[in-house]
Structure 1
Amino acid sequence: MCGRYKRRSDKQRIAETFAVATGLDETFFDPGDDFSPQSMQPVVYLNQNGERQIEMMRWAFKLPDRPRPLFNARSEGIEHAKFWKDAFLKGRCIVPADAIYEWQEVEKGKKKPKYEFVIPGQEPFGMAAVWKLWKNPKTELWERTFAVLTGEPNELMAPIHDRMTTFLEPRDYTEYLAPTERPPLHLLRILPSDKMRATLVGETSITNQQVSLFDSQ
């Protein structure tokens, strides 16, 4: 899964890495070491003019029949998933990041080891994602909201977590964003372990049982 990530690259570096053509002057964000779901984050997508645009979007969807926000979408079968298939066909996007965090499962009551995963030589890298329009019940405004795709873990991730962020190869950014009649499932590959590096960064507790901005009042 992807429940926390780091982005240290500034706007200019992200614009160069992802060949962003528009939205730079209107988009403001700061680097950070631990972004969590429900926050506003910069996302790269293809606008109606066919240009790569960067825009702030909210990370997570809230559905009426689910108690927690959805911030990940499974890559497997996404082309058939009732909620996700249209977004994967028409709303593919890329989320810039410099590292992701995962917590290893341990016995109940013990703190979970926290690991940082990076892709050496790719700072920032691109996480495959999808976006949809969603009406925020608190503001009554429509927002662009995104979820990060996940898949089976590689050998490096498997001892830590049973799901892994779906990373895109830089050569695949153009094809992933381009409009197509058939969804580009072949781009949702498992990144080989030898392209990643994991570092133990501490033992902490992680929870999504936080006060949700999606909760209606």
Structure 2
Amino acid sequence: MCGRYVLQRGPAALAAHFGTVGPLPNFAPSWNLAPTQDGLVVRRHPETGARHLDALRWGLVPHWARDASLGARLINARAESLAEKPAFRDAFRKRRCLVPADAFYEWRQEGAPGSPKRPYAVARADGAPMAFAGLWEGWRAPDGTVVRSYAIVTTAANAKLAALHARMPAILPPEAWPLWLGEEEAPTEAALRALLRPFPDAGLAVWPVSPRVNRAGQNGAGLLARDASASPPPGLDDPPPFA
């Protein structure tokens, strides 16, 4: 599950990191990006083959949906069922993307059942941007307006994150980007599925953050600060120096 994430780097820095071309979208940094809001994605242009950085709505709206509200329930796509689920199978074959992120949040039940959950932030240990595997889709409204949206692909959690949640975003290393984006000719389903595995434990930093992140209206760099009042499980980290 990935229900909130951080994208604090600007479009110019992301374009340089991911090697995109073309105009840059207008996008304000967010430390608490929530479903139905716009996020940035990296897509391959079908004619030129070049990578482009675009702003799309988080929450995939299938092309056959009756209205765009369905997207609020399709923010994540399970790696194990991409080829079978009607909402995702066409996008899995034809419209894969990368979703840049600096960190994401996950929640852990630490008190009695029913008590508030403790939020944690997760980022690459080296502070570099993450690239979530994503799917995108275009949906045409009755008035002709086109809504372009995306979902984040999730996989089983690695051992480090399993204490927080059973799932995590599928984080792709740079060497996997060409295959996922379709820059390599006719990737097989098996080859694509092989990319969707848990990220190595040592490559991620995990630390407790303030419960302020629970409210989608809260934003600002302070949300990534370690919460000194928390009593997290042993073996967790300090926030990385974001590169």
* 1:57-98: CA deviation from partner (whole Å, max 9, x where unpaired): 000035569695210000012122222111011000001110
**77-86 or 37-46, larger mean C-alpha shift:** 77-86
CA distance in 2, matches of 1:199, 1:207: 18
Q: Does 1:190 align with 2:187?
A: no
Number of the residue aligned with 1:131:
136
CA distance in 1, matches of 2:105, 2:167: 12
| Aligned residue identity for 1:51 | A
The percentage of aligned residue pairs carrying the same residue is: 29
Residues 1-217 of structure 1 correspond to what in structure 2 (within 5 A)?
1-24=1-24, 27-48=25-46, 49-61=48-60, 68-105=72-109, 107-136=112-141, 141-178=145-182, 180=186, 182-183=188-189, 184-203=192-211, 206=214
CA distance in 1, matches of 2:144, 2:109: 38
| Aligned residue identity for 2:50 | E
Rg (Cα) greater in structure:
2
Q: Partner of 1:22: helix, strand, or coil? A: coil
CA distance in 1, matches of 2:118, 2:169: 18
Using the size of structure 1 for normalisation, the TM-score is: 0.85
TM-superposed CA distance for 1:177, in Å, is 0.4
CA distance in 1, matches of 2:187, 2:195: 15
TM-superposed CA distance for 1:122, in Å, is 4.8
Aligned length: 205
| Aligned residue identity for 1:17 | H
More strand by share: 1
4+ runs deviating over 4 angstroms: 62-68, 204-208
Q: 1:13 to 1:132 in 2, by over 3 A?
A: same
**149-158 or 115-124, larger mean C-alpha shift:** 115-124
Check the 8 A contact 2:59/2:72 in 1, yes or no: no
TM-superposed CA distance for 1:13, in Å, is 1.5
CA RMSD of aligned residues (A): 2.3
| Aligned residue identity for 1:34 | N
Number of the residue aligned with 1:212:
none
Q: 1:176 to 1:68 in 2, by over 3 A?
A: closer
More helix by share: 2
CA distance in 2, matches of 1:42, 1:7: 8
Q: 1:114 to 1:190 in 2, by over 3 A?
A: same
Check the 8 A contact 1:128/1:168 in 2, yes or no: yes
